[in-house]
Chains A and B, each alone.
Chain A
Amino acid sequence: MDWLYIVKLIVYVVLVGVVAAPNIGLFFTWMHRKLGARMQWRIGPPLYQPWADVVKLLSKETIIPATAHKTTFLVAPPLAVASAVLAIVIMTPFAPPVQVYHISFTGDVIVVLYLLTMPAIAAMIGGSASGNPYASVGVQREMTLIFAYELPFIMAALVPILKVGSLRLADIIGYQLEHGPILFSVSGFLACVVLIMVMQAKLTLPPFDIPDAKTEIVAGPYTEYSGASLALFKLAHAVMLFAVPLFISDLCLGGLIVRSLSDPVTLTLDIVLIVVKLVVLVLIAAFIRFFNPRIRIDQAFGMFWKTATVIAVVALALSFVPLPYF
């Protein structure tokens, strides 16, 4: 048993998963709120706001209602955080020549696909476990939403996979290092459009914040949560805010590529590009969020199963064309 390997793994997991991911996620949360405020001619919360929210929630009492199943109720939030963090840990390979860690493996795209759905599953299990009727309606809506976006999601994620011919994230990023981002091709562009639609739904942001509809079902699956358990769910949501744009960036925009560690000019340029890619995606999510009202669940269904699926099918068909910009 290679102890050095295990120690390195633990350090990597702790650094990326525990230190970096939640903080970056909370920063993106702040970005959303500040941007929304500015777009509404307001000042908006200060930079430390999401951190204050989490600490405050941690210091509050956790109430477990009598109708809840205690163990499931309490296990769901850490599960949500764990899967989001694990997704990020798997998604951070760097392309050659910089190999930060040999953590990418064949089929990791599929694993990440599943892990990105896990926080929603954990929310549903927690909501079911709380025994509240509002939570049950929230669970129903969340599940129907997942059902709606799953098909276009797979099809759009398949486009980069088929273009590169590999199920390994490091290969996909390496391909984009040589041939340019997949976004710069017709099928890739269409796939990116669909992925952005799905990102809105995955993050349950308007127009798809149906499971979390404050004015309709109180707080959806999170109704009965309070204190530390709610803090963990908010943390999971924040980490997802980082994980999903990272996934789209890896698949379509070239991901976290650093071309060389020695040359300071390209190094700075690459780091700036990495940040820009993520920030642009977060900004797109924020813009769509603040420009749109919430749509009904059956409208969302139609939107994904008709519009998004058609676009994704076209993208898939075009990806088979062996011409350069397709």
Chain B
Amino acid sequence: MTGLVTWARLKSPWLFHFNSASCNNCDIELVDAITPRFDVERFGILVEGSPRHADILVVTGFVNRQAAPRLRRIYEQMSNPKIVIALGSCATSGGIFANSYNAAGPVDRVIPVDVYIPGCPPRPQAIIDGVVKALMKLQSLGGGKK
């Protein structure tokens, strides 16, 4: 039974994308990944509109003080098991906005992060690679965060 469930979770990861004060470049690259050229739907990846429907939270941007509580709320509104991917240099480490006056820190200061995808912006190939690593983490954890 657990084997079936783990297989299903691997084969059907649904994304929710949140932009926390990003310059939009990473968002553009993420959207590129679902275009026909890269076609992530063949892995079963869908981008969903409501965080309650999603397994993977993809966060871009360096998280300013306005976005931080909202990011926290959205993370809590997702249903377990869930995985967080920090997309782009800003999300991973703050990037060029690291010492900004309104930075609430990179993403892992607000919510726990599983996979970091560096790059400014990361190419869609890197994004797909990161998502695959996230799925492998899901598999190794035997079901992801509980």
Residue interface bits B5-32, CB-to-A below 8 A is 1, else 0:
1011101100000000000000000000
Q: From A55, which residue of chain B is reached at the shortest CB distance?
A: B8
Interface residues of A in 83-117 (CB under 8 A from B): none
Q: Given the interface contacts A44-B42, A60-B79, A62-B79, does A55 sit within 8 Å of B5 by beta carbon?
A: yes
Interface locus among B48-56, B61-69, B95-103: B48-56
Query: Do B41 and A52 have beta carbons less than 8 Å apart?
Result: no
* B112 beta carbon closer than 8 Å to chain A: no
Q: How far is the CB of B111 from chain A (nearest CB, A)?
A: 17
Residues of chain B within 8 A of A48, CB atoms compared: 11
Give the residue of A52, A53, A223 whose beta carbon is less than 8 angstroms from that of B7: A52
Residue interface bits A41-60, CB-to-B below 8 A is 1, else 0:
11111101101110110011
Residue interface bits A205-243, CB-to-B below 8 A is 1, else 0:
000000000110011001111110010000000000000
Give the residue of A45, A59, A215 whose beta carbon is less than 8 angstroms from that of B41: A45
Q: How far is the CA of A226 from the CA of B4 in the complex (A)?
A: 19
Q: From A37, which residue of chain B is reached at the shortest CB distance?
A: B41
* B129 beta carbon closer than 8 Å to chain A: no
Q: How far is the CB of B128 from chain A (nearest CB, A)?
A: 13
Query: Do A60 and B42 have beta carbons less than 8 Å apart?
Result: no
Residues of chain A within 8 A of B9, CB atoms compared: 56, 59
Q: How many residues of A contact B (CB 8 A)?
A: 32
Q: From A54, which residue of chain B is reached at the shortest CB distance?
A: B8
Q: How far is the CB of B16 from chain A (nearest CB, A)?
A: 10
Q: How far is the CB of B39 from chain A (nearest CB, A)?
A: 4
Q: From A217, which residue of chain B is reached at the shortest CB distance?
A: B49
Give the residue of B41, B48, B80, B143 whose beta carbon is less than 8 angstroms from that of A42: B41
B residues with CB within 8 A of A: 4-5, 7-9, 11-12, 36, 39, 41-42, 44, 48-50, 52-53, 55, 77, 79-81, 143
Query: Do B49 and A60 have beta carbons less than 8 Å apart?
Result: no
Q: How far is the CA of A19 from the CA of B44 in the complex (A)?
A: 24
List 19 additional contacts besides A45-B44, A46-B44, A214-B48; criterion CB under 8 Å: A40-B36, A43-B42, A44-B42, A49-B44, A55-B4, A55-B8, A56-B9, A56-B12, A60-B55, A60-B81, A61-B80, A215-B49, A218-B49, A219-B49, A223-B50, A224-B50, A225-B52, A230-B52, A230-B53
Query: Do B50 and A222 have beta carbons less than 8 Å apart?
Result: yes
Query: Do B53 and A226 have beta carbons less than 8 Å apart?
Result: yes
Q: How far is the CB of A246 from chain B (nearest CB, A)?
A: 27
Residues of chain B within 8 A of A43, CB atoms compared: 39, 42
Residues of chain A within 8 A of B80, CB atoms compared: 60-61
* A32 beta carbon closer than 8 Å to chain B: no
